[in-house]
Amino acid sequence: EAAVRTVRENGLADNVISVRLGDGLKSLRPGEVDTVCIAGMGGALMVEILEGSPDVVETLDTLILQPQSAAPELRRWIYRKHWHIEDESLVLDDGRIYEIIMAKRGRRKMPEQLMLEIGPVLWQKKPPLLRHHIEALLFQERRVAAGMEKSDAAKKSKKYQAVIRHIKELGEHLSW
């Protein structure tokens, strides 16, 4: 109802904007659109939505994705499914960094894990918010390490060593 009202208030006829209620991409027919924008939810849910309508996804040219979480998993899915990241941006709103990913059809080499976290195109472009983005990733990893440091057994684990290595790798990407 809100979408219908917005379309009407902006003088856009139904033949310009079609408002639909549906589950993920299920309200679309294959070939009906060439670009899909999915925003405001976790990357894992985005993958579920895209996987849930393969017939629609295979006819798309462009994906615009703004994951609230699990961005590395979403980036991995993009490359595994023969898409690639054409462009990425960072936006700061109310103290929070948002990642925006534009994916295009076409196979490319899977980026290394750290670049799946940082964003391969973000790392290439090095936008002004990149340092803030990496610091946010570091903050999350340091919280994990701090929690593990409360247990002697956890501090001796391979997982703890991996977290410490990851913190070091992220820290090394703070200067360029």
- Return per-residue pLDDT of the chain as tens, 176 residues: 998 898 889 888 767 788 888 999 999 999 999 999 999 999 999 999 999 999 999 999 999 999 999 999 999 999 999 999 999 999 999 999 999 999 999 999 999 999 999 999 999 999 999 999 999 999 999 999 999 999 999 999 999 999 999 999 999 999 88
Listed in sequence order, the residues at least 6 apart from 90 whose beta carbon sits closer than 8 Å to its beta carbon are: 97, 98, 99, 100, 122, 127, 129, 130, 132, 133
All structural domains of the chain with their residue ranges: 2-110, 128-176
Helix axes 43-51, 71-80, angle to 10 degrees: 30
Residues 6+ apart with CB under 8 A from 109: 79
Q: pTM higher than 0.95 for the full model?
A: no
* CA–CA distance, 98 with 114 (Å, rounded to integer): 18
- By CB neighbour count within 10 A (0-12 exposed, 13-18 middle, 19+ buried), where does 119 fall? buried
Pairing of strands 96-105, 62-67: antiparallel
CATH topology of domain 2-110: Rossmann fold (3.40.50)
